[in-house]
Structure 1
Amino acid sequence: MLVLLPPSETKAPGGDGPPLDLDSLSFPELTPVRRKLADALVELASDVPSALRVLGLSPRQEDELARNATLWSAPALPALERYTGVLYDALGFGAFTRSQRGKAERRLAVASALFGIVRGADRIPAYRLSGGTSLPALGTLRGLWRPALEPILENADPLIVDLRSGAYAALARIPAAVTVRVVTATGRTVSHHNKAYKGRLAAVLATTAREPSTVEGLISAAERGGIRLSRTGDLELELVTPS
């Protein structure tokens, strides 16, 4: 099972390891696109007004550009420690036991505008790049990533649980993936706490003793963890929030 998480705009600062080494990341087939994007971000960061405009940042967020400028030299952190925010708070990776961390690092992956997809233990620097960005001379990220990412994700695992948000789902289509929509007991889509519930689901799937290999197994694993999943299609599930 591979649970594919969305990234977060916010990233933990610093790191405790050597700088970015693209050759050490999972899915090495993506290295050429990763290198092209990293080099483009470093170059863009040298032109502050253009970088702010292209990345959709305000002048008060200029410090984000410093992260991009030092992509090749900044210390790295495992992906599951680098990304922060509501979903990752709910995931609670920092509180996992050693055994749980090992399971999570194998089962969880993060969609990334810069790296395409990284597994939980892949070490990456802090950066700023959103899925809907169009970079000068390179064009849209969707145009760059789809040809490279889709063949890899098609064969990444027999059971893929796709928890990505819209902008990142657009970077690669995964027709055989299981999708999850968060709804209330009356069927209304949940927006405000959507990320938190997906983070809790990811935590349950990452740490369950019996790794599911089917949709029914996925539903059972979630139920054992106190999460109700309702099947609405062959590959479509709804996470029903408590009343």
Structure 2
Amino acid sequence: MKTIILIPPSEGKADGGNNNSLKSVAGITADLIEAIKEADPKKLYGLKGKALEKAIIVNKEVLISKTMPAIERYTGVVYDAIDYQTLKNKSDFDKKVLIVSGLFGLVSPNDLIPNYRLKIDKLKAAKLWKNSNSEKLRDKFVIDLLPQAHKKAVKYDNGIEVEFVLKKEGKKMPAGHQGKHIKGQFVRWLIENNITDPKHFKDFKEEGYKWTGEFFLKEI
């Protein structure tokens, strides 16, 4: 059974691109682009000033702007920690990792995408993508590193959710933003060591996290 590692996109994205524009799209992506045009920008993006203006322009030009591989487009903390350019076995990463995008559904690292702005909890994107995404995950073993909002966009029969949890004074809490970097490190570790079976998760001990059999725990 093929293993798939699911990761979220990043809100931060690189500008520009060196490849041709999409020009046209179909299906759910096309429907969402139309919905973006009709939506109230302030409610859709939750931004103000120049950041709002940029988001509006980025989506207005989404079909005519240059594209680049998704792994280069996304620039957030998870992606910094993965550090794709220094991976020895990039081809393994390209085969196993899928990114759950609000606008494009399940995206492979080498898929060419433009800059865009759409959170998966907006315009019912997660609900719209769920059937399509889930069909692509059929008969796969999924290692799920998704935040709660993105989990709503997928369904799979075989897999494991991987959470990073902090414990302070006996109380447990999600690692939150701090967990993004360790998630990226974990993905890199999975790829570099060809890990597909959760029984080996106990061998990952970065930054003080230890696998409990249910989640990674760090006492602080």
TM superposition shift of 1:182: 0.7
Report the counterpart of residue 106 of structure 1 in structure 2. Answer: 95
Alignment size in residue pairs:
213
Q: State how far apart, in whole Å, the 2-side matches of 1:56 and 1:184 are.
A: 29
* 1:16 paired to 2:18: yes
Report the counterpart of residue 206 of structure 1 in structure 2. Answer: 191
Report the counterpart of residue 146 of structure 1 in structure 2. Answer: 130
TM superposition shift of 1:171: 1.7
Q: State how far apart, in whole Å, the 2-side matches of 1:4 and 1:21 are.
A: 27
Residues 202, 22 of structure 1: alpha-carbon distance in 2 compared, 3 angstrom cutoff = farther
Question: 1:201–1:227: 8 Å Cα contact kept in structure 2?
Answer: no
Q: Which AA in structure 1 matches 2:48?
A: S
TM superposition shift of 1:57: 2.3
Q: Which AA in structure 2 matches 1:177?
A: G
* 1:230 paired to 2:215: no
TM superposition shift of 1:19: 1.3
TM superposition shift of 1:150: 2.1
Mapping 1:171-186, distance limit 5 Å:
171-184=153-166
TM superposition shift of 1:230: 2.7
Query: TM-score under structure 1 normalisation?
Result: 0.77
Among 77, 84, 106, the residue aligned to 2:68:
77
Q: Which AA in structure 2 matches 1:59?
A: G
Partner-residue secondary structure (3-state), 1:145: helix
Residues 229, 171 of structure 1: alpha-carbon distance in 2 compared, 3 angstrom cutoff = same
Question: 2:45–2:55: 8 Å Cα contact kept in structure 1?
Answer: no
Partner-residue secondary structure (3-state), 2:133: helix
Report the counterpart of residue 165 of structure 1 in structure 2. Answer: 147
Question: 1:71–1:125: 8 Å Cα contact kept in structure 2?
Answer: yes
Question: 1:212–1:221: 8 Å Cα contact kept in structure 2?
Answer: no
Q: Which runs of 5+ in 1 are unaligned?
A: 24-30, 135-139, 233-237
Question: 1:74–1:125: 8 Å Cα contact kept in structure 2?
Answer: yes
TM superposition shift of 1:106: 1.2
Which stretch shows the higher mean deviation, 80-89 or 172-181?
172-181
Among 214, 217, 220, the residue aligned to 1:240:
217
Among 31, 43, 46, the residue aligned to 1:53:
43
Q: State how far apart, in whole Å, the 2-side matches of 1:69 and 1:83 are.
A: 19
Query: TM-score under structure 2 normalisation?
Result: 0.84
Question: 2:190–2:196: 8 Å Cα contact kept in structure 1?
Answer: no
Q: RMSD across aligned C-alpha pairs, in angstroms?
A: 2.6
Residues 192, 118 of structure 1: alpha-carbon distance in 2 compared, 3 angstrom cutoff = closer
TM superposition shift of 1:14: 0.8
Partner-residue secondary structure (3-state), 1:177: strand
Q: Which runs of 5+ in 2 are unaligned?
A: none
Question: 2:126–2:152: 8 Å Cα contact kept in structure 1?
Answer: yes
Q: State how far apart, in whole Å, the 2-side matches of 1:38 and 1:76 are.
A: 16
Partner-residue secondary structure (3-state), 1:154: coil
Q: State how far apart, in whole Å, the 2-side matches of 1:96 and 1:108 are.
A: 13
TM superposition shift of 1:96: 2.5
